[in-house]
A and B are shown apart, each in its own frame.
Chain A
């Protein structure tokens, strides 16, 4: 249940940026979550809801945007969506795919009043 730690990270960032912008309320928090991140989104939302009570982010919507797991072949340079966690290049069949996206866990933007 590391979703609590992730929810805390999100709230810290949101409150920090809200304060910097003199916001009275956080309405929405947009998140980028890579396909290969171990985040259970229901658990994350549950943790987040319980954490934000009494803060200016209470009731804020978490908007989750999934980022596909993409790789670039170390040998032939081909870029591809990594299917079934197979990190061998489907083009040249010999190279390893280096992850170029899909491990993100970021706060993208906030909507504040």
Chain B
């Protein structure tokens, strides 16, 4: 006997993600799902962000990591609320993992929640966690071929942060080519060049975050 189904395989995840999204809308929090390879500089970017914006924006961070709390420990130094999710080997965060820790967090007075995903350019792109937007950090040392090798993550990300641009002269990274590939995949994507160690380009990143926080507040207010 044939039984018609037509159900999304990740439907359960999408349903929980939608619940998280409603929650973020109620609290008027801009939630960013930050993706990137291990070592791309996701946590470094967040450290800079926490230091620069902590008196201006009320922020919190959820850190996804396989086993350790190394990243959460780095963020905690900035006196920003941080919660660690250990996936015990799991290659991505899913909406249920995020929902569980949201219950433990005080989100009443927050503007920005960054969910730093497990370092991985493949799996996290398939799992919404309820974020407003995804962003990806790609570092120069990973190579300019990555956008086309991992198209989904760049397609899904509203912003690509190209990190470690200070070492461009010592590599064969083709900046124009990489940007062209990212724009081909996602014509309206924002692309910014930064160096977390040198501090260059970060103002552009902060401005983008400020705009998103502002836009989320306006959207949430309009819905009331």
Contact = CB atoms under 8 A, between A and B. Distances in A.
Interface of A: 1-2, 5-6, 9-10, 12-13, 17-18, 21, 23, 31, 36-38, 84-88, 96, 105-113
A110 B10 contact: no
Q: Is the interface of A mostly helix, strand, loop or mixed?
A: mixed
B6 A108 contact: yes
A106 B7 CA distance: 5
Nearest to A39: B126
Nearest to B127: A2
B184 A88 contact: yes
24 contacts: A2-B123, A2-B127, A5-B10, A9-B11, A9-B12, A9-B13, A10-B9, A23-B1, A31-B9, A36-B151, A36-B152, A37-B126, A38-B122, A85-B155, A85-B184, A87-B155, A87-B184, A87-B185, A96-B188, A106-B5, A106-B6, A106-B8, A109-B6, A112-B3
Contacts, number: 92
Contacts of A109: 2-6
Nearest to B3: A110
Contacts of A23: 1, 3
A71 B62 CA distance: 34
Contacts of A18: 3
Nearest to A97: B187
B148 A85 contact: yes
Contact of B151 (A1, A17, A85, A106): A85
A108 B152 contact: no
Contacts of B10: 5-6, 9, 105
Interface string B113-126: 00000000011011
